[in-house]
Amino acid sequence: MEITFDEYFKYEHHEARIPAPLRQGCDPVRHRVVIAGGGPTGLALALGLANYGIPVVVLEADDTVCSGSRAGAFTRRTLEILEQLGVIDEVMRTGHGWTTGWTYYRDKEVFRFDMPHDAHQKYPPAISHLQNYIEHCMVEEAQRRSGLVDIRWKTRLKALSQDADGARLEVETPEGSYALEADWVVACDGGRSTVRDLLDLRMQGKRHEGRYVIIDIRIDTEGLPVGRRCWFDPPSKPGGTLLMYKKPGNMLRFDYQLNEDDDEVEEMKPERVFAQVDRHLRMMGIERTWQPVWMSLYRASALTLDSYLHGRVLFAGDAAHLVPIFGVRGMNSAIDDTHNLAWKLAFVAKGLASPQLLESYSRERVHAARENHRFASKGAEFMAPPSAPFRLMRDAVLSLSERHPWITSLMNPRQHAAIPLYDSPLNAGSQDAAVFRAGPLPGDILRECPLDIQGQPGFLTDLLGPRFTAIYFSEAGEVPAALGEAFGDLAARVPFQAQVVARRAAAPGGAALDSSGRLFSMYGAQAGSLYLVRPDGHVMARWLEAEPEALVLAIDQALGLEQEACHV
């Protein structure tokens, strides 16, 4: 149930496009990848594949980006990915960075959390923004991608069949129906996935108690802090819970819980929702006029497919899993899916890797979904206790919080962060923390650190790109001959680059400089150490003393090319 009251951003509406000429009702071009769904998941995957030169067709049933803000908070990890997709400048220009969240019991603050942040980070731990505006930025970027991303609006998928070599899709548009063929299909078509239904697949998990009304309003937000605010049993809604975020464009977002016996049709009537907003604003002492923008009804679910790879069809985002919104895990986890999948599907599509590489996508992201469920479900059950004993315990925590501050840690919403992939089949090199004493393990996301790059201030993540990256730690930029030969061999065969970081100044135009003096100690490295980073930013291997043969073998094994590696 969704209501839009006005268009607070004017988005372009697009006409359906049928490829010409059709050959017997079929698109004459066989496509490498077709993406079903042009929401944030599908658009992010399309831009990610375009980074590798893979042309994609995106099928979207609607004629423009989504209505309503929907997802509203985006993590540092997502911002790093949006940078690689080419949309970060506009997102950061228009978003609100934040670090702090407040929790209230009735009208008193009982808990405050601050997400990890320091002056050495490139991005804030989170920003408040609007999903539809970020989608708009992605569409504009897709239009700049030199024909690599073909978004076909008002195109609805009606049938799907596949064999060992590819898939055939039948689609319907206002101008007529046609079929198209693809080597690979990726379902990014949301929680009510048509692709999932056509393949007769069902997600497993549980649906949580609690229904939530979500409403965006436009109001003068001057002086209101940016961040997450959560009220339990507020005077404006006794016995209930309410979340509030400040949004860009002079907007506030409210999520509040309906009671178990509430009739949702009655409670979704605008006059009932508006009255609740009025009560809460008055409780906060806010006497400002406001206008409704968009509202919807939400139910929390923790569901996932057991596998995200089914023949020539892959799943990502809400088509693959549903995650409770608590801890901002919805769109953030979907963007993580696409970043994991883009490089693997691109390498397979180009013949640079065995199709078995896609099995690692499914294994890693199913694991991530279950970890997200584990954390988010704790928040969901605290917000809406599933039984009387749960409610009794939750209410006891709230009532004791003023006198016993230590108990408030149970209120921590555990904001989303990148899920480490310690059990990934792609990991190699030393995983013994005692060897390095510090630094990210294989499976961790690369940790940020300031660097001097070509005489200019920058960050470690600036050295990454759509390729494997070897980060070699050097005293003054020198690289052993055998290692340099291995670097050259890899760069000639697969998307690969070597980046050298020096402890002290090297020759002009040479290695990046550890200008802050933090990187070597943060990574437990010494001159001669080597970290291997996957194209999606996860550490894949590390060696305290670089081993050229081990480096080559690690990449070849990950890509399923280890037999060829024996002849290098």
Whether pLDDT at 376 is above 80: no
**Predicted pLDDT at 335:** 96
CA distance 1 to 93: 32
| Fold of the 9-93+128-205+302-375 domain | FAD/NAD(P)-binding domain (3.50.50)
Helix axes 131-143, 40-50, angle to 10 degrees: 30
Residue at token pair 């599933």: 386
Report which residue type is found at 330: G
Asked if pLDDT for residue 510 goes beyond 80, the answer is no
Q: pLDDT tens digits for 201-251? A: 999 998 776 788 999 999 999 999 999 999 999 999 998 889 999 999 999
Residue 405 pLDDT: 67
Of residues 532 and 414, more confidence is placed in 532
What lies within 8 Å, CB to CB, of 319 at 6+ separation is 36, 37, 41, 187, 188, 189, 190, 191, 193, 195, 196
| CA distances to 150, 155, 186 from 158, in Å | 19, 9, 15
Query: What's the average model confidence in pLDDT over 264-270?
Result: 94
Q: 151: which residues sit within 8 A by CB, 6+ positions away?
A: 14, 38, 43, 46, 58, 60, 139, 142
pLDDT tens sequence across 16-27? 888 888 877 999
The per-residue pLDDT for range 166-192, each reduced to its tens digit, is: 999 999 999 899 999 999 999 999 999
Eight-state DSSP code of residue 285: T
Domain spans of the chain, in order of start: 9-93+128-205+302-375, 433-565
- pLDDT (0 to 100) of residue 564: 46
For 286, the 3-state DSSP assignment is: coil
> What is the residue-averaged pLDDT of the chain?
90
- What pLDDT, on a 0 to 100 scale, did the predictor assign at position 128? 94
Is the pLDDT at 414 greater than 60? The verdict is no
- The percent of residues above 90 in pLDDT, for the chain, comes to 70
How far is the first Cα of the chain from the last one, in angstroms, to the nearest whole number? 59
Average pLDDT over residues 394-398: 72
Cα(323)–Cα(207) distance, integer angstroms: 10
pLDDT band at 380; cut points 50, 70, 90: low
- Do β-strands 176-187 and 100-105 pair in parallel, antiparallel, or remain unpaired? unpaired
Answer whether 521's CB lies under 8 Å from 438's CB. yes
| CATH entry 3.40.30.120 includes domain 433-565 | yes
pLDDT greater than 50 at residue 566: no
Task: Choose the weakest-confidence range: 284-288, 374-378, 460-464.
Answer: 374-378
State the Cα–Cα distance between residues 336 and 338, nearest whole angstrom.
5
Report the pLDDT averaged over residues 519-547.
96
pLDDT score, position 266: 95
Q: Report the pLDDT value the prediction gives residue 392, as an integer from 0 to 100.
A: 72
